[in-house]
Every structure is written in structure tokens, then in C-alpha cells.
Amino acid sequence: MDEMTRLRELRAGAPVPDRAALAPGRKRLTDAIEGRGRRTFRLRADWRIASLGAVVAITAAALVLTQVVGVQAPDPASPATVAGDLDLSSPAAALGQAADFLERQEVPPEPRADQWIYLREEDPYQEKQWKELPAEVRKKMDWSYLPDSWIPYDDKAAENDASDTDHQTARASYRIAAGLPEDPEALLAELRKVFPTGDGSNGAPEAENEHSFRALTVLLESYPLPPDALARMYRALATIEGVGVTDHLIRDATGRQVIAVTRAYDRNTRREILIDPVDYSYAGDREVVTRTHEVTGPKGTITIDHKRGDILREVARTKAAVVDAKGQKP
């Protein structure tokens, strides 16, 4: 029995992602194993797309399950005070406030073709797994936990890779964002064309709102984005059916207080897009259990309890900058 069939048995109760969602996950995993630079400007791989062995190993050890931490009343030194009075009463209020702020910012020049994008993205679960591996095992592996990455802004090789239709380079992402229309409906329609869904042959096709959310959040992960374009994206994000916002700041993987924009992934989990409450930049994402349930492997090999509030996956982007050379840090 192949790995994907076994994985479908493990997640039989969840919607099956279509080809558009599966392909980039497999490509990112292959890139990581072969030691290539991380491609951040594309569909983020779903944690469910890893091989069954990886899912079991990571879940058993890393899901020492973490409860969501809410911050109901920020102290005087909190980001909310720095950013002003945050309105988290609704997605329209929160994202509209972010858009108003971004529209007042000066648009910096587009990066040069010879520059690099530096990102630091911290993943405590992957880091824990890496550190717990015996040294002799780590030496034999072709990958390691590296929170720092450098991506060429003008990546011609990736831009000309016709085999991966879901990938967009840093430069392409910047220009796609800069050219987005003002009208939210038209903006979402454009992004659905840029990041197309599958034909349904590999699972149920995405509904329009699901597709819009995925496409927009793929571009949202790109860096840099013109502030006025990001403002248009936030206004459009607020119009997608099912999008919500927590009514308080939450703490991310590094302990920072951030805004969480949410949407259900399936009946058991939701995706949370994290936004910095000071400058409204993309700050990471995570997946949170919304309904207590069990996940059982093929033929009862392993059963894992997921409780409401458990965090299954989280990544915190703590730094992002345009630099002049690979290896350079701001």
C-alpha cells in the first residue's frame, strides 16, 4: 500500500485536498530533503501531506499539546498600546484598521534583481524534533532545522519552471500584488486565476470561498509586498465568507502578541493567519483544533487524542528583510 493511500486512511474523516494543494506540498518536501533553498512564495505545504511515518513521529513527540493563550487585557507595554486602540470586534473592523494604516505608508522602491529576501521563520515543533534526534542520525540526514533562509529576488530558474504552476517567485509575487484591483471581488477573482484549484480528479474541488482564502493567504506569505497592495488584500480578506478574527491578541510560537485572522479548515481544525499589531505585517500562521477528536492510523497502529484548543502546527515569522547578499542579515 503506498504512503498517500495510508495517509488517506488516517485522515478519512477530513476533506481530501485536490491536486493544486497536494503538488506544492510534495515539491516543498522534496526541496527540503534535497537541501535546496526554501521557496516561501508559493502554496504553504499542509502538515497532513507529510508521509505517514513523519506524521506519526512528529505527532507522538511534538504534540505535547499546547493550549491557545488569550490576552484579554494588554498591559501598558503591549503591542496594542503601541499600535493604538485595536478594534478586534470583527474582521471588517480589524482588517479595515490595518488597511487604513498601510495606505498611509510610503511605498518603498521595488528590490533590485540582484538582491535577496531574508526570512527568519521559527517552528518550535520542528526544532524540538531536530534537537531530539541523536547526533549520529542528524549527520546522516540531508536536511536540518534552519529557521533562517535566503531567497533570490530575481529567481529566473524558478520563474521558468513550467512544471510547478503553483509557485510564484518573490519578484512575481511583488508584481502580482502591485497590480491587484481595488474592488475586493475583482481582487479575489484575480488571485483565484493566479493560484488555480484542481479539476476535482484528486478530491473534492475547492468551494469559491475556500479557494479565495487559500489563494490570498499564499500571496500574503510573500515578502516584500507594497503596503498599498497589502491594504487591498486585507480589505478583500475581510469579505471572504467564514473569515473571523479573535477578539483578543494571542501569543505566537515565540511569545509575541499578534492578531489572529481565522477560517475553518475542516470540521475539526481552523487555520489562523497571524498579523503584527504594530505594523500589520504578516507574522506567521498556525493550525488549531476546534473540536476534540481522535486520529487513528491504519489498522489501529496509533491513536492520538486532539483536544479543542490544541495547536497542531505553528510558524512565527520574526524577521523579514531585503538584503544585498545571501547569508547577510539585517
Do 43 and 25 meet the contact criterion of CB atoms below 8 Å apart? yes
Supply the pTM of this predicted model.
0.74
Q: So what's the pLDDT on residue 166? A: 63
Do 263 and 12 meet the contact criterion of CB atoms below 8 Å apart? no
pLDDT at 294 exceeding the cut of 50: yes
pLDDT at 205 exceeding the cut of 50: yes
Do 152 and 116 meet the contact criterion of CB atoms below 8 Å apart? yes
Tell me how crowded residue 54 is: count the other CB atoms within 10 A of its CB. Answer: 15
Q: What single string gives the DSSP state of each residue in 317-328?
A: EEEEEEESSTT-
Q: What is the pLDDT of residues 66-123, one digit of tens each?
A: 333 333 344 444 554 445 689 999 999 999 999 999 999 999 999 999 999 999 999 8
Q: What is the pLDDT of residues 133-188, one digit of tens each?
A: 888 877 777 777 789 999 999 988 777 666 665 678 999 999 999 999 999 999 99
User: How much of the chain is in helix, strand and coil states, percent to nearest 5?
Assistant: 35, 20, 45
